[in-house]
Amino acid sequence: METGIVNPARTLDATGISGLSKIHYNLNEAGLMQAAVARGEGEIGNGGTFLCSTGKHTGRSPKDKFVVQDPSVLDQVWWENNSPMSPEHFATLHADMLEHMKGREYFVEDLYGGADPEYRLNVRLITELAWHGLFIRHLLRRPEIAELESFVEDFTIINCPSFKADPARHGCRSETVIAISFEKKLVLIADTSYAGENKKSVFSILNYLLPEKGVMPMHCSANHAKDDPDDVAVFFGLSGTGKTTLSADPGRVLIGDDEHGWSDNGTFNFEGGCYAKTISLNPEAEPEIYATTTKFATVIENMVYDPNTKVLDFEDDSLTANMRCAYPLHYISNASETSLGGIPKNIIMLTCDAYGVLPPIARLTPAQAMYHFLSGFTSKVAGTEKGVTEPQPTFSTCFGAPFMPRRPEVYGALLRDKIAEFGSECWLVNTGWTGGAYGTGSRMPIRATRALLTAALDGSLGKAEFRRDPHFGFEVPVAVPGVDATLLDPRATWADGAAYDAQATRLVEMFAKNFDQYVAHVGEDVIAAAPKAA
């Protein structure tokens, strides 16, 4: 049995997938929610939201992600960062998954990855969970109904949580697997119900394809000034650094919250929605995001709620600290209708420093920007990945190493060239700890971060007095209206200045050790921009 709208030349049967009991093509939000509830995948919450749990996987499984060693990509993929899978193992995995799918009900969504038609990717998601279809309809971009009748996919994702991989048979690490074949244009996902794997697979594909077209794929949020789409700011940062929150500035227009491209045309969102963390979500500090948690078809993932009233508990992290909501971009009142903007005027690199060393904001030269982009220093925060229960300092190349199929120098060179060509201003912003390291200090006040960012984006911060940081060499403002001057000098926030100096020295040494891998691939100006022990 088949329902829905689909290109008759691109049905599953026509593309080699047969024997399924039911296939639903391109159901809308109401149809997917109806199916998900009927199948026991979750329940309806207040305002018509969809409440669900992802089971044992409440975050991504990066150690179970593989790239197939197809001949055409052998010299292109960063194999030190991407676990290899042989084409033979992938073929066996594919065949076994197709056999497992027979006799079962599946949901197909045909969607776009990318707001710029010149660079967008046609993606087909095939999943056994109806709510995964709902999730990906929010997170990717929806074609018009008339477009579906001629839609031809560029890449296909098959997501089958009930299938368990066999490491010996399929060349993987565990029963969970996420495998990408760039040659077959196919992604296979098994034994995980965490919906984020779907969207990050699309991001990984675009990260591989776009550099060849001169487009910089970015793990960032982006917004632009009201009435001026050419005044764009992009925010680099991993989950938990504040990308979603800080880019949802009501005084600016939101282009998107997580994944973008920077082409000669300007900035464009890869996605059509947002995937926001909800732990301790505050209606006063983040009213727009909070409001989405009672809007129709918002996916509420891994949140504890009252079984009778369906009222959500934003503080109970007993399921996971990585509780999230997924919603379409238009649920944010200041969201861009086009998801397009001009060339980035300001580049913000967000870091969550668990050591309490970095200042709340610093101005970077182009060489320093290159250095910190390749370093990608931050802290993994609780719940973002399986097994992470407290902040862990880490270096994630280009602020998105798990999603980078190519070597980091490819992305670094793109950023360097575009900064040089367009003269973008670069800022390093610490949303982590101040007054001491994690466990002693406190989290950076979000109001101070917002005030500093506002000053950076409106140009007033550039006119402030700056001092040179003795450890990192970048410029730090001495005073900013509305911000406690003590906060701008991290050493002054510590009770023991000598302890701060020792901590800073340790962090500089960590930077130096990490950057050794890039020294042979960068210019002398970037090497000279490296932080040095005071």
Sheet holding 83-85, edge to edge: 2-4, 22-25, 105-113, 121-127, 155-160, 186-190, 177-181, 65-68, 83-85
Strand segments, DSSP code E, in 372-488 are 377-380, 392-395, 425-430, 433-434, 442-443, 466-468, 475-477
- Is the separation of the CB atoms in 428 and 362 below 8 Å? yes
Catalytic pick among 70, 231, 257, 258:
258
Catalytic pick among 57, 94, 219, 491:
219
Catalytic pick among 10, 24, 57, 60:
60
Question: Which residues make beta-bridge pairs with 433?
Answer: 443
Instruction: Answer yes or no: 164 catalytic.
Output: no
Q: Could you give the residue ranges of the DSSP H alpha helices within 82-238?
A: 87-101, 130-139, 145-148, 167-170, 196-209
Instruction: Answer yes or no: 243 catalytic.
Output: yes
Instruction: Answer yes or no: 10 catalytic.
Output: no
Catalytic pick among 324, 363, 380, 491:
324
Return the closest-CA partner of residue 50 out of 271, 303, 273, 290: 303
SS3 string, 62-76, reads HHHEEEECCHHHCCC
Neighbour tally for 264: CB within 10 Å: 12
Instruction: Answer yes or no: 460 catalytic.
Output: no
State the helix-helix crossing angle for 196-209 and 130-139, rounded to 10 degrees: 50
Phi and psi at 99, nearest 5°, equal: -65, -40
| Torsion region of 399: left, alpha or beta (phi above 0 gives left; psi -120 to 50 gives alpha) | left
Enter the tokens of residue 432.
């982590």
Strand segments, DSSP code E, in 205-360 are 216-225, 228-236, 252-256, 259-263, 266-269, 273-277, 299-301, 304-305, 312-313, 324-328, 340-341, 344-351
**Kind of pairing between the strands at 273-277 and 324-328:** antiparallel
Burial class (CB in 10 A: 0-12, 13-18, 19+), 4: middle
Could you give the CA distance from residue 87 to residue 124 in angstroms, rounded to a whole number? 21
Could you give the CA distance from residue 335 to residue 337 in angstroms, rounded to a whole number? 6
Catalytic pick among 127, 244, 336, 397:
244
Catalytic pick among 141, 200, 380, 418:
200
Instruction: Answer yes or no: 260 catalytic.
Output: no
- Is the separation of the CB atoms in 267 and 255 below 8 Å? yes
Instruction: Answer yes or no: 258 catalytic.
Output: yes
Instruction: Answer yes or no: 199 catalytic.
Output: no
Question: Which residues make beta-bridge pairs with 47?
Answer: none
Catalytic pick among 49, 204, 239, 320:
239
- Is the separation of the CB atoms in 165 and 172 below 8 Å? yes
Catalytic pick among 243, 252, 277, 471:
243
Instruction: Answer yes or no: 239 catalytic.
Output: yes
- Is the separation of the CB atoms in 128 and 97 below 8 Å? no
Could you give the CA distance from residue 68 to residue 316 in angstroms, rounded to a whole number? 39
Residue type at 127 in one-letter notation = T
- Catalytic residue numbers? 60, 200, 219, 239, 243-244, 258, 324
